[in-house]
Structure 1
Amino acid sequence: MKIKFLFPMLFLFVLSFSQKKWTLRECLNYAMENNLEISAEKINLENEKKNLEISKKDRLPSISGSMNNSANFGQNVILGTLQRNDNLSNNANLSANIQIYGNGKTRKTIEKANYDVEASDYNLQNIRNNITLQIIQNYLRVLLNKEVYKVNESSYHNAEKLYEKAKLTTKAGFTPFSVESEALAEVSRKKKAMQNSENEVKRTLFDLSVLLQLEDEENFDVDDILVSETRPRIIESATPYLDSAFQIQPVLKSALAQIESAKKQTEIVKTNLYPTITGNIGLGTYYFNYFNDNYTKSNSFFRQYYENFGQQISIGAVFPIFNKGITKLQIEQAKISESLAVNHFNRQKLLLKQSVKKAIFDANAGYQNFIAAQEVDKNSKLSLDLAEKSYAAGKISIYDLNMAKNNEISAESELIQAKYNYIFSMKLLDFYAGKNGDTE
């Protein structure tokens, strides 16, 4: 009885899950956690952090221990007499090495690793920002196509009503059969337009699901949120947006960190021109035992370990004299890497400047299109209202009425398009200015 009860519950659960509609925030959160490009950069960041830890460990001494055992068997001439020389030997050593002087190579390596971690972290932020923008843009496209679909759906239903009315008036003999035929043709055209807009909704939903890297694209849908419209305005100057973008955009911060990392690499290579001083401390002892007691009597293992215990301390220096000019070439190569890093920063700054200016141009053009589309939509609605009244009074034909309706639908669709284009342009500028990019 319990099993029979569970099946309907399971069905309802699966149905409710498949009908779930994603909000923009849910899409963004899911992408931040599951996007493979973001995950790859997270792994790269962890790798750079491990490199930093390794660099810091180089400041500590290296301590190692060893123990060796050996046994020899055979004859040998000892004191002029051929005797067996079977013996067992054992030795144990403990040593510690530390770099005393290396012209700051360890410190500079740590500093370089810090810049590499910083650059990787900014790269991660930049990837997240790009993914966020793509999701917002695709989400808005879905909402745009849904609104267009609603317009076409409403137009299709109105065409059906007009067709039903035309059938009645034709049957009653008030209008010719051509009116009914045109009304039916209009129903077909509106149905085709509605189906096309429905396919556009499905296509943009699919594009968004692919961007989110979802496994189940068929049951994916988004919530029809109310988009907060930005008050239309003309942007007079690009300077505030450029200043903000240059200061806060992670793509430039990453490029700056890469420049500093390249400079540190040059300093690290230059340390190879200077001597390196290392210190060593060692402890050791050994045990040796002849199996042939006729030759000598060996002391016990622990007694030998005690008596043979020794210590050592040493300081060594390595002076670079000649290495075929490789160090000089490595320094020149490191300086080339510096130039490449500076060039990369300049290119990224130029691309960012161009992107901001293009976004401002698109926003201003979008503003003008939006205002114009509002005017066209207003006049098209007025024209349609007059056309409907004239048609009802028999002053215009059904062809004129359909033309007025098509003009109104086209105007409304263009207004929706202009609205969403302008909204995304402003959201993009908000992003460059460091503001929240959500539409909710």
Structure 2
Amino acid sequence: MNLFHQNNKLFLFLFLGTNLFWNVDFAQEKNPETKVLSIKEAISIAKENNDWIAMAKLQKEASESDLKEIKSHVLPHVVAGASGKKLSNVTLYEHGLHDSESLPPPPSTYQANFGVEASFNLYSGGKHEAQIEESEIKTKLSDIKIQQQSGSISLQVIQNYLEILRLSKLDSIYKEQISREELRLKNINSLYKNGKVTRSDVLRAEIGLSNEQFARKENQSNIQIFNNRLNVLLKLPEETKLILSDTAIVKETPEWINIEEPSEKTAYNFLSAKQNVEFQEAKVKGVKSNYYPSISLISAYEYNYPNYLKYPNVDQAYSIGFVGFKMEYSISSLYQNNHKVRAEKERLEELKVNENAVRDNLKLEISSLKIKLEDTKEKMEIAQNNIEQSKVNLKIVNTKYFNQLALLTDLLEADNLYLQSKYKLIEAQTSLLNYYYQILYTTGKI
């Protein structure tokens, strides 16, 4: 009986423990992780975790390894080799293929060789130096690509962050508007019951409330979409709920918006175009090196068996070595290399034109963003004034309507003007920061 009672206790304990574990696990799945982020923290996480930035860093590491490999060519080129053979008998023929005789090959049926050869480049017309320069520029280009990819991802993070803030501000406005619409509908229903307004006023108020509820629901879905996009950029679990700590977009124009005169000379695209010109100049040097001879210091030392240096051949091993130099010159380069040099020079001119075009496009883009930035500052001031004016206007028309001195159409129009002015302020606030960060990205400062 006691044993049965103890087993029941054990079973109950296991059941409760399993149930508790399942409930905790279920609760964790049901309640996704939340993460509080500022813009700076979001950028920092993206730079550390984003796959595109990681790929750019790996490409730079590969370029650095290529550079080390090319630089190592300045060291002597050493080759070691060995061979061993067993020869068959020698078949001797007389009178064509008749009267053959088979004899072992003198002085031995075995042959062996082991040796080391070394060569050291003394002069190659600047070919090796040009290859090193090309590889160094490739490394610089890969570094610029990391910065550009990092800046691009940072800008995407900022834009998604600002969009979530904008939509969150809109959600607050929708919430406030729905409360106002509900109060208005309640008051209109009272007027309708007292016979002071028609049924159409009630219906229009209900439709207005439904439209705002619909708009808020759609806005909340958009917040979730941009939350997921930001999670992907930061490489966080998709279900992670982000809480943005930088809740204020822009209440007034901050001092840091008045940035120093932006320059296209620090832009990623311009730096890449400039490095491409230098890379092509190095290629031209490399192609021109084909006009010059190459001179190398050479050396070798070998062990051989049997001795074929002596006649008749001797069944013995011997060693021998040498030191000298070798010069090579391709005579055909005098008439074949001209076309290649001309082609590389034409590509160089093309890249120089491209560099100028990139500079001009960047100047135009920066000046356009500056104009938009200044224009948005003015729009913010106008929107703030419009909010104050439309708020007073709404209050006046609302009073008139409920005193039977204005139509519902006038009230809805006044309410819409107030709502639109608040929308425009949020749009201007978000656009101001967006243009500011776009200028920073375009000029290579993020």
TM-score, normalised to structure 2, is 0.83
**Structure 1 residues 218 and 234: alpha-carbon distance in aligned structure 2, compared to 1, 3 A threshold:** closer
8 A Cα contact 2:148 2:444, kept in partner: no
> Are 2:248 and 1:227 equivalent residues in the alignment?
yes
Q: 1:115 aligns with which of 93, 112, 137?
A: 137
Measure, in 2, the Cα distance between the counterparts of 1:296 and 1:37. Answer: 68
> Are 2:409 and 1:399 equivalent residues in the alignment?
yes
SS of 2:272's equivalent? helix
SS of 1:58's equivalent? helix
Measure, in 2, the Cα distance between the counterparts of 1:343 and 1:5. Answer: 71
SS of 1:284's equivalent? strand
SS of 2:80's equivalent? strand
Q: Residue 72 of structure 1 aligns with which residue?
A: 87
SS of 1:321's equivalent? coil
Q: Residue 249 of structure 1 aligns with which residue?
A: 267
Q: 1:14 aligns with which of 18, 29, 32?
A: 29
8 A Cα contact 1:241 1:433, kept in partner: no
Q: 1:388 aligns with which of 393, 398, 411?
A: 398
How far is 1:95 from its partner?
A: 1.1
Measure, in 1, the Cα distance between the counterparts of 2:72 and 2:340. Answer: 25
Measure, in 2, the Cα distance between the counterparts of 1:123 and 1:324. Answer: 39
How far is 1:283 from its partner?
A: 0.8
Q: 2:349 aligns with which of 339, 343, 353?
A: 339
Deviations 1:41-60 (Å, cap 9, x if unpaired)?
A: 33332232122112101101
SS of 1:226's equivalent? coil
- Quick one: which amino acid aligns to residue 257 of structure 1? Q
**Structure 1 residues 57 and 420: alpha-carbon distance in aligned structure 2, compared to 1, 3 A threshold:** same
Q: 1:51 aligns with which of 41, 66, 72?
A: 66
How far is 1:147 from its partner?
A: 1.2
**Structure 1 residues 433 and 83: alpha-carbon distance in aligned structure 2, compared to 1, 3 A threshold:** closer
| Alignment of structure 1 residues 281-320 onto 2, 5 Å | 281-288=299-306, 298=315, 304=317, 308-320=318-330
Q: Residue 152 of structure 1 aligns with which residue?
A: 174
Q: 1:98 aligns with which of 92, 103, 120?
A: 120
> Are 2:295 and 1:273 equivalent residues in the alignment?
no
Q: Residue 184 of structure 2 aligns with which residue?
A: 162
SS of 1:94's equivalent? strand
Instruction: Please provide the CA RMSD for this pair.
Output: 3.2
SS of 1:227's equivalent? coil
Deviations 1:76-106 (Å, cap 9, x if unpaired)?
A: 67xxx97433611211111111111112322
**Structure 1 residues 103 and 177: alpha-carbon distance in aligned structure 2, compared to 1, 3 A threshold:** closer
Q: 1:60 aligns with which of 70, 75, 93?
A: 75
How far is 1:65 from its partner?
A: 1.0
Measure, in 2, the Cα distance between the counterparts of 1:219 and 1:378. Answer: 39
**Structure 1 residues 98 and 199: alpha-carbon distance in aligned structure 2, compared to 1, 3 A threshold:** same
How far is 1:266 from its partner?
A: 0.8
Measure, in 1, the Cα distance between the counterparts of 2:443 and 2:250. Answer: 18
Q: Residue 292 of structure 1 aligns with which residue?
A: none
> Are 2:272 and 1:262 equivalent residues in the alignment?
no
How far is 1:31 from its partner?
A: 3.3
How far is 1:208 from its partner?
A: 4.5
How far is 1:23 from its partner?
A: 4.4
- Quick one: which amino acid aligns to residue 241 of structure 1? E
Identity %: 18
How far is 1:372 from its partner?
A: 1.3
Deviations 1:34-75 (Å, cap 9, x if unpaired)?
A: 444433333332232122112101101111111111111324
Measure, in 2, the Cα distance between the counterparts of 1:146 and 1:28. Answer: 20
8 A Cα contact 1:95 1:283, kept in partner: yes
8 A Cα contact 2:251 2:429, kept in partner: no
Q: Residue 187 of structure 1 aligns with which residue?
A: 209
SS of 1:17's equivalent? coil
SS of 1:309's equivalent? strand
Measure, in 2, the Cα distance between the counterparts of 1:36 and 1:108. Answer: 33
TM-score, normalised to structure 1, is 0.84
**Structure 1 residues 185 and 72: alpha-carbon distance in aligned structure 2, compared to 1, 3 A threshold:** closer
Q: Residue 11 of structure 2 aligns with which residue?
A: none
Measure, in 1, the Cα distance between the counterparts of 2:24 and 2:186. Answer: 44
How far is 1:347 from its partner?
A: 2.0
- Quick one: which amino acid aligns to residue 9 of structure 1? V
How far is 1:426 from its partner?
A: 2.6
Measure, in 2, the Cα distance between the counterparts of 1:296 and 1:268. Answer: 49
Measure, in 2, the Cα distance between the counterparts of 1:171 and 1:224. Answer: 47
SS of 1:92's equivalent? strand
Q: Tell me how many residue pairs correspond in the alignment.
A: 417
**Structure 1 residues 262 and 191: alpha-carbon distance in aligned structure 2, compared to 1, 3 A threshold:** same
- Quick one: which amino acid aligns to residue 255 of structure 1? A
Measure, in 1, the Cα distance between the counterparts of 2:182 and 2:296. Answer: 93
SS of 1:265's equivalent? helix
Measure, in 1, the Cα distance between the counterparts of 2:218 and 2:115. Answer: 83
- Quick one: which amino acid aligns to residue 67 of structure 1? A
Gaps in structure 1 of 5+ consecutive residues: 290-294
- Quick one: which amino acid aligns to residue 281 of structure 1? S
> Are 2:104 and 1:84 equivalent residues in the alignment?
yes
8 A Cα contact 1:27 1:135, kept in partner: yes
How far is 1:298 from its partner?
A: 4.5
8 A Cα contact 1:108 1:264, kept in partner: yes
Measure, in 1, the Cα distance between the counterparts of 2:156 and 2:433. Answer: 14
Measure, in 2, the Cα distance between the counterparts of 1:267 and 1:94. Answer: 33
Measure, in 2, the Cα distance between the counterparts of 1:251 and 1:113. Answer: 20
How far is 1:333 from its partner?
A: 1.7
How far is 1:166 from its partner?
A: 2.6
Measure, in 2, the Cα distance between the counterparts of 1:258 and 1:296. Answer: 62
